[in-house]
Structures are given as structure tokens and as C-alpha cells.
Amino acid sequence: MTWSETLLTGWQAIRTHVTRSLLTVLGILIGIAAVILTVGLGLGTQQDVSAQISSLGSNLLIVTPGSSTSSAGVRGGFGSATTLTVADAEAIASPVVAPDVAAVAAQRTSSQSLTAGDANWTTTVVGTTPSWADVRSRTLLQGRFLTDEDVTAQAANVVLGTETASELFGTTFAVGRTVTISGTQYTVVGVLASAGSSTDDNLDDTAVIPLPTLLTTLVGGTSRTAVSTVYVKATGTDTISAAQQQVTALLLNLHGITDADSADFTVSSQDALVDTATGVYQTLTVLLTGIAALSLLVGGIGVMNIMLVSVTERTREIGLRKALGAPPGAIRRQFLVEASILGLVGGVVGAALGIVAATVLPGMVGSSIVVSPLAVGGSIAVALAIGLVFGVYPAVRAARLAPIDALRSQ
């Protein structure tokens, strides 16, 4: 029997029991679709996280203060101390000390209630310098950003995020209007273009004012020189590591710290954040893919079960073929082909179902799903392999039947 005849006979045998074959294929296709969706969801989440972190700015280093300790010995979390100052940011900006640093923007934040007429809105007020827009890769929808003159004069000017402007004025066209922050009127000089969200922060819900203005009017006290974050932009992607070393060495020297392990600040890069987040999601993806793969095992057992039933039902057919001279290899090949067809059909249909679901589901779950060609091709190959592996025992059993015993069976 030629291969073409074997394939045709196998396909006809499957068509003879359509319902049973469909139920067998169902277990495989569900497993294949689940694997494709799980891998796609993991890749999509990694992509979303990378995009969110990248929205902070390009070639970015983030310097945050260390933890604080109260008089009662209670330690705060990282970033709770006031160990970073405006002077630190100015020192980092020196091209002599840190030649691989392109720009620096210190910032201090404060949650404040903004009012405009009868409207009010609570948002994060960011005190910073003119370089903030460049370092954070932010652009303007209208108006202008803060200038050196605003910082020097401690001007009561503010740049709003699109969402903040919409909540206060019902429109993003807010340049020239005024808002009140903690009893002081600020003139809106610009509106930032939408940037979406980053991790837990809504980048479009913010109000940016000059750093000296925030430190004087909203903070005050003994911590008016402290900043909560210093954003550092490296000169390029290939100089991020060098810039990080320069910033770390400079701050250790300024703070009089000889042991880097005792540093009262942290310098982190986007690459580190991306690597950490990606590592977590890769682990989850592997775990979920393993769980989804269990359904493939169940589908394979279904294939074996159906093929054993088929061998039992077709015992007389097998005996007749052997009596007519069919060698054991031909009988074995016949049942392996049938099992392979079941696996292949389940793999192709499951892959198609997974791709369709990956197109439809993102709008429902709120997360991207990336269809990996490697996952699709690998899943189909695995489905075919499952058909072959789980079809071996039934095929061998059929090939070993004695012709005389097979012909006598009822």
C-alpha cells in the first residue's frame, strides 16, 4: 500500500466516525488554543510593561532617596528619606563630573486640590525644572513649558496634563486661564500632550510648576531643599551604564559615604526595571503554559483511547488485510497515519481558534495578546507529535494481531 493510499484510507476511516473523531480532536484543539493564548498574553503583558516603562523617558536613570528612620526606630520604605537635594541635582548636571549625562531634572511632588471656578480636582503637583520635559520625553499640546525665568522668579505658572485640564475646565484648551493651588492663583501657560499611564501613575493627570515655587509655597519647613526624585538622561543608550556609575560615584562623594552598600540613595535604570518586570512575567508565562499543556496530555490520552477502540472494531478488517498479504509494517503505518491526522487537524484548528481569540480578547481583558509565530508553529508540531506518540501503542497492537484470530473475531 502506497503512502497516498494509506492517507486516503486513514481519512476515510476518520470520516466514518465523524462525531467520535470531532470529540477526540476537541481535546487537542482546546489545549493548543490555550497554549497560544497563554504565551501571547505573557508576551503582550511584557510588551505593555516595557512600553509603560519606556514612557518615562529615553536613556533614563532614576535617582531616589533611601529610607528614613523615625525617633522611635520605625524605618520607612525606600524613597521616604530626604537625602537628595537640589544641590545634588545641580552637581550631577555638571559635564565635567558626569560627562555621559545629557540632562538632569529634579522633582518634588505634592498631592493638592486644584480649583478653577466651581470645579475642583485633586492631583499630583510636580515641582521641577525646565529640563523635565526633555528628560521625561514629554511634548506640549499647546502653550509652552516652564522656563529658566519661571524658576528664577518662582513664578506662579503651571503646566497641566490633559486629564487635569479636562476635569477643571471641561476642555484641554486651558492656556491663559487660572487655577488656585493652596490659596495661590497660578496661570496656565501650557498643556502637556497625552502620554497615557506608567506603572501605577496616570501621566496625563498632573500639574507642573517651578520647583522653587513648590518648595517655598507648598512644602516649606526644613525640607524645602529636598527633592523626591532626580531624573537623569544619559547621552545615549550605550552610555547608560557609564552615566549610572558616574552619578553613583558623585553622590557617594557628596554624601560622604565610603561604602556603596550603605548608600542613602538608589540609582536605577529603565533596563533594570524592564528586566525585572520581564523576568516576573516570563516565569508566570511558563507556569501558565505548563498548566495549559496538561490539556494536551488529556487530548493525547483521548487519541490513544479512540485508536484502541478503532483497533477493536476493525479486528476483522485487520485480519483480512493480513490474510491478503499486508505486512505488519503496513498495518502499523495505517493506524499511525490516522492518529497523526487527528493530531494535525486538532493542532491546525486549535491554532486558528487561538489566533482569532487573540484578536478579539484584548478589548475585553484590557491587555495586549501577541501571537507568536514560533508558538503557533510549535503548537501544531506538538499536536502532530501527540498523535504519533499516543498512536504508537494502538498501531503496534493492531500489527501484532494474528490473521486467523482476527478473522475469527466477532
Looking at this protein, which amino acid is placed at residue 350?
Answer: G
Domain ranges of the chain: 3-52+276-408, 82-263
Residue with cell 496634563: 161
Residue 405 confidence class, pLDDT cut points 50, 70, 90: low
Cα gap 2→15, rounded to integer Å: 20
Please state, in angstroms and rounded to a whole number, the distance separating the CA atoms of residues 197 and 292: 31
The three cell numbers locating residue 74: 520605625
Chain centre to alpha carbon of residue 360: 18
Task: Give per-residue pLDDT as tens, 212-224.
Answer: 999 988 886 666 7
**Among 133, 136, 179, 132, which residue's Cα sits nearest to residue 158?**
179
Lowest mean pLDDT among 131-140, 145-154, 391-400: 391-400
Check residue 370 and report its DSSP letter: P
Q: Residue 400 half-sphere exposure, CB side, CA atoms within 13 Å?
A: 6
Pairing of strands 119-128, 206-210: parallel
Closest to 296 (Cα-Cα) out of 39, 30, 7: 30
Which whole-number Å values give the CA distances from 279 to 36, 157, 272, 286, in the listed order? Answer: 19, 42, 10, 11
Biggest CA–CA distance in the chain, Å, is 106
Phi, psi (degrees; rounded to nearest 5) at 188: -80, 115
- Give which of 237, 266, 269, 235 is closest to 251, Cα–Cα: 266
Contact 262, 248 (CB under 8 A): no
Q: Classify each residue of 52-89 as buried b or exposed e, where b means 16 or more C-beta atoms within 10 Å of its C-beta.
A: bbebbbebbbbbbbbebeeeeeeeeeeebbbbbbbebb
Closest alpha carbon to 396 in 321, 331, 318: 331
Nearest to 59 by CA among 271, 245, 237: 237
All residues at 6 or more sequence positions from 394 whose CB lies less than 8 Å from its CB, including other chains: 304, 307, 308, 310, 311, 335, 339
pLDDT grade for 148, boundaries at 50, 70 and 90: very high
What is the tens place of the pLDDT at every residue in 325-352? 777 777 777 778 878 888 888 889 888 9
User: Which of 84, 124, 121, 112 shows the shortest CA–CA distance to 218?
Assistant: 112
The region of weakest confidence among 20-24, 47-51, 186-190, 271-275 is 271-275
What pLDDT shows up at residue 49? Answer: 67
324: cell is 491478503
Q: Are 255 and 265 in contact (CB under 8 A)?
A: yes
Query: Which one is predicted more confidently, 365 or 94?
Result: 94
Task: State percent of the chain over pLDDT 70.
Answer: 80
Q: Which three cell numbers stand for residue 351?
A: 491554532
Label residue 39 by pLDDT band (50, 70, 90): confident
Span 386-390, mean pLDDT? 80
Q: What is the tens place of the pLDDT at every residue in 165-199?
A: 999 999 999 999 999 999 999 999 999 998 865 54
pLDDT top residue among 140 and 195:
140
